Amino acid sequence: MNKEALKNSINKYCKVKYGKSLGEAKDYEIFNALSLALLEEVVDDWSETKALYNQGKKAYYLSAEYLMGRALGNNLISMGVYDEVKEVLNELNIDLNAIEEIEEDAGLGNGGLGRLAACFMDSGATTNIPLQGYGIRYSNGLFNQKMVDGAQMEEVDTWLKYGDPWSIRKDDEAVIVEFSDYSVKAVPYDMPIIAYGSKNVNTLRLWQSESLESFDFDLFNKQEYTEALKCKNDAENISRVLYPNDSKEAGKLLRLRQQYFMVSASLKDIIRTHKAKFGSDFSSFGKEHAVQLNDTHPVLAIPELIRILVDEENVKFKDALSIAKTVFAYTNHTILAEALEKWDVKLIEKLFPRILEIIRHIDFVFVQELEDKGYDKEAINEFKIINYNQVRMANLAIYVGFAVNGVAALHTDILKDTELHNWYELYPEKFQNKTNGITPRRWMRLCNQELSAYITELLGTESWVNNLSELKQLEKYIDDEAVLNKLMAIKKTKKEQLAAYIKEVEGVELDPNSLFDIQIKRLHEYKRQLLNAFYILDLYNRLKANPSMDIPNVTFIFGAKAFPGYVRAKAIVKFIGEIAKKVNNDPVIGGKMKVIFVENYRVSYGEKLFPAADISKQISTAGKEASGTGNMKFMMNGALTFGTYDGANVEIVQEAKEENNFIFGLRVEDIEQIGGKYNSKEYYEADLSLKTVVDALVDGTFCDGGTGEFQDLYNSLVNEGDTYFLLADFVAFKEAEDKVFAAYKDQKHWAQMSLMNIANSGIFSSDRTIMQYANEIWGITPKTVK
């Protein structure tokens, strides 16, 4: 990189965009100018990549969310110029870290599904796979979380307040999306996904919904100003907020509009590129395009493709359905019924009656096929796409899709053996497993530069960043005390950095010499943050009774967002907040333990939390977590997994061995054996320590502000059956934590356990996952820009 040219380019953009010299510019202005200067460096490679990919088959990833995080630092790493740019900025008296911190996390996703999509985009580029992402450019994301007196409050996410220098608006490629009541314009914004180690630059295309007219001039002229802007507001609402609250019909309709908006715009875009190459010949469509449906949110793409082919391209329905069966593949991310979307027929009919007609026709054809195979009416009812006045999106995806995959070995086995067993018997050839992965560029090379540099030093090469299996070579240092000491020193550094950040932004002092026990993930009952909270409260009670208890100092860190309409999840946040106030303000404890619920957990916060963790809490009810990817990020950064035998935890302990982690609690087979016989009250009444912490919800120990939310949590456990087996796993949880405390006393052995996790994390690279998708589902080979 030409350093003087970069300086000149940054100066130029400061002047052109803000009318300021570099010396006058604010941090966010420098961020934008630097980003535009760097974008200038890759646009030619980006154009070459697009031209190269258009020569053959392409895959398209359709996802409702992409939890991208910040762009600047990751792109600097991918371009291989992080240190050079840091030097340039130092010469200009600019702190790169301060510029990185000013960037807002892109408000385009929320949980693991969205972060997985982001990792896949990174790996698609780095493995040179012709893969393009499609999604929605949410103007306000999910929400920003504020912790007020220990409770969650939601504020608008203004991620675009400083602009979006890493996206290019393509007005000339906008398309029209039609609903029954109005039409909108879908405007594409293209985000470059820069490969690490090659010149390839892939594309994430995000659609922004806009009105066909800026306002109704006649109404405005009549001074009916609010009505004059109604069409504009209705259109912009579609891409305003990720996962709008859908507790009422208006919210459900908005979510449904979002889904159709995304898939209709994306398919029109794909068909446009196809026609530019092949004209109106769609016979080869499935050979040229593979569409991966990331969960059920984009499944409306199936009837929409058929609608476009039949209504706009004069393809017969039978042929259009046959084409669709060669194009779509479906990733199932959960066995939870709430996440396998079912849409009321009346809602679909209200927004797009033609789509409902097509779904009915697909269902009719499917039922005929089942009858021909000898299925009786009762069995067919389980398969039907439309039943009980609901459209079952997973059924539609599995019937039409040519491949169906789970996201961890255990999850896929559960799908085949129980949850989707009837489908597996019908279409065994469709089912595959694709264990999730994470990108080592962001989750190690960027966020843990100290550990990355040391691994490169030990291995003598940086090729491990693109071939993570090379980390296996680190096992040869398992008895090297100098290496083990260095690993622990790096961990201490990352804990100090996190503690400094939390002190700055949260005002809470943490002891970096304490054991950092971290649970960060979406807030949901099955993820059992409440079980962790009960343990912490019990430990506090024991410490109060015996302040000289022989345990290391320990810091418990939570991070999670609860959906605004998810009352129980928000009650759990409040309960943890109440525990934190009690523990942290008690002088008797004397710093022996600390509890913090970090505010507004997001990717950029995660980049500080994952490298600092000693313990990775992955405690979902066995069989409920499809995979998890946070567990992989912790593992790669040397944390030990404290978890149930669930999701990718199973594969983590297979790789790094159970003796190097802490597995506890009921397993899937145990829960199956218990069946409907589980009596949570027996556990509640049999263990005084458990009863004490559960009673703390209702005995006046803590206050929920008179909302009754804590009583509801109590009832869910004691009177409503404890769906997620918190009480059954409490004793095993305590025993496992005792093992953690005992193990932490032997720092050399702890370092060995940590090293074994790092060394065996290679299989969890999303590069491996995306290559499996390319080879085993999409039928696509890499294409490299020369």
Residues taking part in catalysis = 333, 521-522, 527, 629, 633
Q: Which of 274, 422, 411, 269 lies closest to 339 in space, CA to CA? A: 411
Phi and psi at 209, nearest 5°, equal: -90, 130
- Helix (H) or strand (E) segment spanning residue 277: helix 249-278
- Which residue reads 């996440």 in tokens? 339
Distance (Å, whole) CA 158 – CA 241:
11
Q: What residues have CB less than 8 Å from 451, skipping those under 6 apart? A: 444, 487, 490, 494, 611, 637, 638, 758
E-assigned strand segments in 126-244 = 131-136, 144-148, 151-155, 168-169, 175-178, 183-194, 201-210
Q: 756 near 16, Cβ under 8 Å?
A: no
Please report, for residues 373, 400, 421, 698, the alpha-carbon distance to residue 426 in angstroms, rounded to integers and kept in the order given. 10, 13, 9, 50
User: Exposed/middle/buried for 750, CB within 10 Å: 0-12, 13-18, 19+?
Assistant: buried
Q: What residues have CB less than 8 Å from 250, skipping those under 6 apart? A: none
**Strand, coil or helix: 358:** helix
Per-state percent for the chain, helix, strand, coil, to nearest 5: 55, 15, 30
Q: What residues have CB less than 8 Å from 322, skipping those under 6 apart? A: none
DSSP state at residue 294: E
E-assigned strand segments in 378-434 = 386-387, 390-392, 403-406, 431-433
E-assigned strand segments in 353-454 = 386-387, 390-392, 403-406, 431-433
Distance (Å, whole) CA 414 – CA 411:
5
Please report, for residues 34, 86, 140, 401, the alpha-carbon distance to residue 99 in angstroms, rounded to integers and kept in the order given. 9, 10, 22, 45
Q: 637 near 448, Cβ under 8 Å?
A: yes
DSSP state at residue 391: E
- Which residue reads 């309409």 in tokens? 565
- DSSP strand pairing (390-392 vs 515-520): unpaired
Phi and psi at 696, nearest 5°, equal: -60, -20
**Strand, coil or helix: 195:** coil
Three-state secondary structure along 19-72? CCCHHHCCHHHHHHHHHHHHHHHHHHHHHHHHHHHCCCCEEEEECCCCCCECCH
DSSP state at residue 171: G
**Strand, coil or helix: 210:** strand
Q: 263 near 295, Cβ under 8 Å?
A: no
Please report, for residues 60, 116, 191, 355, 393, the alpha-carbon distance to residue 119 in angstroms, rounded to integers and kept in the order given. 15, 5, 14, 32, 25
**Strand, coil or helix: 460:** coil
Handedness of CA 648, 650, 653, 655 (dihedral sign): negative
Q: What residues have CB less than 8 Å from 15, skipping those under 6 apart? A: 21
